[in-house]
A and B are shown apart, each in its own frame.
Chain A
């Protein structure tokens, strides 16, 4: 995978810049991203899942990013993401969501009823829908970064 994007219409190598090559889509995309962060699930929980999925997918830039919506995230938890199941800093909600997030990134067919139930019992139906949607978005963002070969260092939305 090369460094920097090969999309010449972008003003810089960030994913938002690349997407702005299609203004009619990028504005709606940013609205959707903002909606995910405001849908009622703890942003720190979402951010940990986003970073973990980026790690698994080999999205180095995505794993290094920090979403402004999740400001204040304990970086010690990020360091502990590769052993979240035994790290004492992760509570039951974080463990339930990370379990689904990891499986979602690796093979979504492998997400079990038990794994999903552990999330929905803690978040409720609306929260589980928002969480699932966030995972799909994070998965897509990482894959887009890899496909576009972007190398951003900040997340604007």
Chain B
């Protein structure tokens, strides 16, 4: 896996992921709307969500 950015950032925010997604503003908006709802609502507690997220990141070797 490359450590170099493969997509020129379309924004200058703190998140490289967000800066890449900025090439597709409508898509980014839809994604963050869904993602934000997932994190701010629902029956599953935040500790369980974050534990699953961290475990998934480890398994997929995602440093972010």
CB distance from A79 to the nearest CB of B (A): 31
**Contact between chains at A109 and B7 (CB < 8 Å):** no
Q: How many residues of A contact B (CB 8 A)?
A: 25
Interface size range of chain B in the complex: 20 to 34
**A interface: dominant SS:** helix
Interface residue ranges of B8-35 to A (CB < 8 Å): 8, 10, 20-21, 23-24, 26-27, 30-31, 33-34
- A-contact bits for B31-56, CB 8 A (1 contact / 0 none): 10110011001100000000000000
Partner of B23, one of A112, A113, A129: A129
Does A153 touch B at the CB level, under 8 Å? no
CB distance from B64 to the nearest CB of A (A): 13
Contacts of B27 in A (CB 8 A): 32, 35-36, 39, 129-130, 133
**Contact between chains at A108 and B26 (CB < 8 Å):** no
Q: Which residues does B use to contact A, with CB under 8 Å?
A: 1-2, 4, 6-8, 10, 20-21, 23-24, 26-27, 30-31, 33-34, 37-38, 41-42, 60-61
Q: A32-B27, A108-B60, A133-B27 are in contact. List 4 more A-B contacts (CB 8 A).
A: A32-B34, A126-B24, A128-B7, A130-B27
